[in-house]
Chains A and B, each alone.
Chain A
């Protein structure tokens, strides 16, 4: 790539090690960069409740999609509960458009493991499960290897570094189901059942894995912990768009850009900067038509939104969500109805079947969308789509219902004329068809 002088550079945090030439992600490599220093400085030296306070102070919010404050989530665990507690690392990475956790896992696994042990210590868990999507076979192998090395070095297992703290970590592979990225479906799956989300409350904090107090945190969330400990919550809280969106995010850029990929930047830069500077702009220098700002569940945005800041609040105010950080960019000429159909087919395939509005509604939506795209639509189809969407969103056990209607709702809002054009074409073709022969009486 040619030098890009004007491109702003930021100090990466999570991708820093792996960006160094020759860095393999092995235990010796990780230790050379100061790895497991946070663990040494915390375990047995700082009270678990103080670690939680530190994370609250940093402002760290979940990187999986919902953006819930991590330390606050930890604080929901019952203080006086005597039985086992669990930590689950959500490495399901199933949100279309998202491919950051795969890179963190395969290139710097110990960064995640150190975060896991720190979180275990803070919440008092002695067992952690990394729930990794089944397709990441290489990632699972790399994690198994790293866990073995860390265990041999005394960073994982019984009596870590002689402090009397126990935390064991296991890899648990999923088997191909988008819904298992939803935290309660993940727990069901980890218990050997179908991945059907649970009705909340009760929340996992009190009734999680095996009905025990449980925290589920995303890979990227946990990977931030060693850095927050090493450099202090004030350092972290000053990055990005304080006070509500602190730290960096790894944004995953896909679609019609020159340089798709993972870019770690402070939260609060604009979509324009991410797409035109970091990702190199549109391929063939075509005009941008639309983008999805935070994974398939996030409503589509238009070029008018390019100057929206990439923090939780600003994207929400623009009518979408920062979600999982997956930014998918579409060029002029892309059919928005087709794009919405492609995502609808995804959601139809992945609906777990627990709630009727979602199970039946997704089937109706996909059939109606297919009919419109195939130019066999009818004028009343748009109303049918709106009605279906309104009857799915907010009427399901988990957020999948809201997610699956967002591609259609948002494209109907911004590109209704494209739907109408397809339907008009269908109606015109219908008029040209010869009249059916009159029935004989």
Chain B
């Protein structure tokens, strides 16, 4: 199925936000990877057609951004922040735990296709490190027990209650 067939109304809504069509490029690339987790060549060609661009123009933009995947990734894409602020409080250890538990290093995917591990640069959660993002969700102030539970919950139910909600740190006083 093409993107237009699948997301017709959503594409029209996205296009309506911008006076210049090309601005819809990143939003449409997100649509293209929503289901499969990555962007196919066919999708890029279709998007080029929708936005009146050449396929290389789409490819040019798609290859600049780390969140746009041009290759398949696991069902759960684990991204551990490795920048200095998280490294000071143990992000290398977190990567070690995951390596030991799943048998994959950064850049690798488990044989069952469930987990991909990536070491990434700063995700703007420096006060609550070490931290990782899995698909859309942040998991912060990680401990080995938390990592264990997150991986187990995701494997069994597809979600985990330890993900961060609306962020505030330090947490507001609870009196009252």
Contacts and interface: CB of A to CB of B under 8 A. Distances in A.
A133 B124 contact: yes
Give the bracket for the number of chain B residues in contact with chain A: 35 or more
A106 B166 contact: yes
Nearest to B28: A192
A346 interface: yes
Interface stretch (B61-69, B102-110, B151-159): B61-69
Nearest to A24: B166
B122 A103 contact: no
Given A21-B172, A328-B88, A173 B123 contact: no
A411 to B, nearest CB: 12
Interface string A162-174: 0000000010111
A102 to B, nearest CB: 5
Interface in B36-81: 51, 60-61, 64-68
A18 interface: yes
Contact of A193 (B22, B27, B68): B22
A178 B121 contact: yes
A21 B136 contact: no
A417 interface: no
Interface stretch (B1-9, B93-101, B126-134): B126-134
Contact of B173 (A19, A133, A173, A256): A19
A393 to B, nearest CB: 20
A115 interface: no
Contacts of A193: 22, 60-61
Contacts of B68: 175-176
A349 B121 contact: yes
Contacts of A260: 126-128, 169
Contacts of A197: none
Contact of A99 (B125, B172, B173): B125
A173 B30 contact: yes
Contact of A252 (B61, B83, B126, B164): B126
A254 B127 contact: yes
A296 B121 CA distance: 12
Nearest to B169: A261
B89 A255 contact: yes
B25 to A, nearest CB: 3
B19 to A, nearest CB: 7
B53 to A, nearest CB: 8
A254 B61 contact: no
Interface string B161-176: 0001111111011111
B175 A192 contact: no
Interface in A1-33: 1, 18-23, 25
Given A19-B173, A21-B174, A192-B23, A175 B65 contact: yes
Interface of A: 1, 18-23, 25, 84, 93-99, 101-103, 106-107, 127, 133-138, 142, 170, 172-178, 189-195, 210, 252-256, 259-262, 296, 326, 328, 330, 334, 339, 342-343, 345-346, 349-350, 352
25 contacts: A21-B174, A94-B124, A96-B84, A99-B124, A99-B126, A106-B166, A106-B168, A107-B167, A135-B67, A170-B17, A173-B27, A190-B23, A191-B22, A192-B26, A193-B61, A194-B60, A194-B64, A254-B129, A260-B127, A261-B170, A326-B85, A343-B83, A346-B122, A349-B121, A350-B121
